[in-house]
Structure 1
Amino acid sequence: MRTGTGVRGGARTGVGAGARTGVRAVVVAGLALVTVATVGGCAFGRPQVKVPPPFPSPTYSSGYDSSPSYDSSPSYEPTYSPSPAEETYDPDGRADVSGSNCDFSDSLRQFTYTVSITNPSMNDSFSYDMAVNWMKAKPADGKAYGLHERSITVGPGDTETYTAKYTVNQSSIGQFWFTCEITRAHKTRR
């Protein structure tokens, strides 16, 4: 009968399929166990790896030395505090000078002007090379009637006052207009 081949095929299918399914289940179960054991660290020992100690990072002893130093002990270098900066000043000392009482005496034929110099430094003495001019005012054409020059030393924080004078050589002077100007106060440290 032709139905026997069907039975043989069915028997083979029944036995073969069951056996394959069982083998597959065992293989899958075995792989799962190996995976779990490996992940958990139980099945195989981890290899022993020795990590060398880290090298110390390079340090530079100064901003000018470009070679690295690998010494891990702290270095003790002397520290230097900067010397106090020398006080600066403007050699044009006219800001330190003021004037008052610009006058002319007819009887003495003399110009006068009171000059005060205040040294703003609390540390240094300064010498002031002064020049005072009496200038024509009307018209103000740049003409000078007289000039007084003097050098005076002023101590730290001190004020010195003096009267600048200039005598006119003419015997008679008519009416005129004038101004007093401090045209120079050159300042040098003493």
Structure 2
Amino acid sequence: MHRRSMRLVAVAAIGLLALTGCGKKGRHSSGSGGFVSGGGSGGSEPLASPSGLPTDLPTDLPTDLPSGLPSYTPSDLPSYTPSPSYSYSAPPTYNSDGRNDISASDCDYDESTHEFQYTLTIRNPETQTMRYGISVKWSDQSSSSMLGSDYESVTVSASGTQTVTATSYRYLTEQTSFTCNVDSVLKFPN
């Protein structure tokens, strides 16, 4: 009986050696330095928690925090359509021929300056400021040939009056009879 117990012990020892792998010669690692990558379950001891982490997290956080931005669509916005704040009225009418607005006087020749002179007074009857373009001519009375001309541009306020002197240089060598004429007057709003 003693022999039989020895055999059982020997068989149990061999089985234990076979399970643990001890006693085998020539065993080498696969070249990974003896470490196995990955998170297998190879150890019998549990992993330890990292140190320095807080363990007492707050539990009294508010639960009524706003969630996101307010939502609206462009249709919620008030619509605005501009409306014109003016009314159209027809422009005032006026006579573009301003010859009736002009009176002329002092048709003369100044021998010291060798200039023809003609004084024009413009009376604007309109309710708006007007610009007058006035063409004046001096003519030889005997031959009707032109001796000189001038163009004046005059602005006259509404219902106002303006006086200008039209001039034209001409050196006369003999006594000459001449006439002064307002040739044309164009009138338009300024």
> Is residue 146 of structure 2 the alignment partner of residue 144 of structure 1?
yes
Identity of aligned residues (%): 33
Amino acid in structure 2 at the alignment position of 1:105: D
Amino acid in structure 2 at the alignment position of 1:101: D
C-alpha displacement at 1:107, in angstroms? 2.1
| Alignment partner of 1:162 out of 158, 164, 170 | 164
Amino acid in structure 1 at the alignment position of 2:114: R
Greater helix share, structure number: 1
| Cα distance between partner residues in 1 of 2:112 and 2:155 | 32
Structure 2 residue aligned with 1:61: none
| CA deviation string 1:54-82 (max 9, x = no partner) | xxxxxxxxxxxxxxxxxxxxxxxxxxxx9
C-alpha displacement at 1:83, in angstroms? 7.0
TM-score by length of 2: 0.51
Amino acid in structure 2 at the alignment position of 1:128: Y
| Alignment partner of 2:132 out of 119, 128, 135 | 128
> Is residue 114 of structure 2 the alignment partner of residue 109 of structure 1?
yes
SS in structure 1 opposite 2:92?
coil
Which structure has the greater CA radius of gyration? 2
Q: What does 1:5-154 correspond to in 2, within 5 Å?
A: 86-121=91-126, 123-139=127-143, 141=144, 143-154=145-156
Mark the runs of 5 or more structure 1 residues left unpaired by the alignment: 1-81
| CA deviation string 1:84-136 (max 9, x = no partner) | 65432121111101100000012221100100100001x21100011111111
| Cα distance between partner residues in 1 of 2:108 and 2:94 | 32
| Cα distance between partner residues in 2 of 1:86 and 1:108 | 45
| CA deviation string 1:1-58 (max 9, x = no partner) | xxxxxxxxxxxxxxxxxxxxxxxxxxxxxxxxxxxxxxxxxxxxxxxxxxxxxxxxxx
SS in structure 2 opposite 1:108?
coil
Amino acid in structure 2 at the alignment position of 1:124: Q
Q: Where has structure 1 moved over 6 Å in runs of 4 or more?
A: none
TM-score by length of 1: 0.51
| Cα distance between partner residues in 2 of 1:128 and 1:137 | 27
Amino acid in structure 2 at the alignment position of 1:159: T
Amino acid in structure 1 at the alignment position of 2:125: P
Q: How many residues align?
A: 104
| Cα distance between partner residues in 1 of 2:94 and 2:100 | 11
Structure 2 residue aligned with 1:187: 187
Amino acid in structure 2 at the alignment position of 1:182: V
> Is residue 146 of structure 2 the alignment partner of residue 174 of structure 1?
no
SS in structure 2 opposite 1:173?
coil
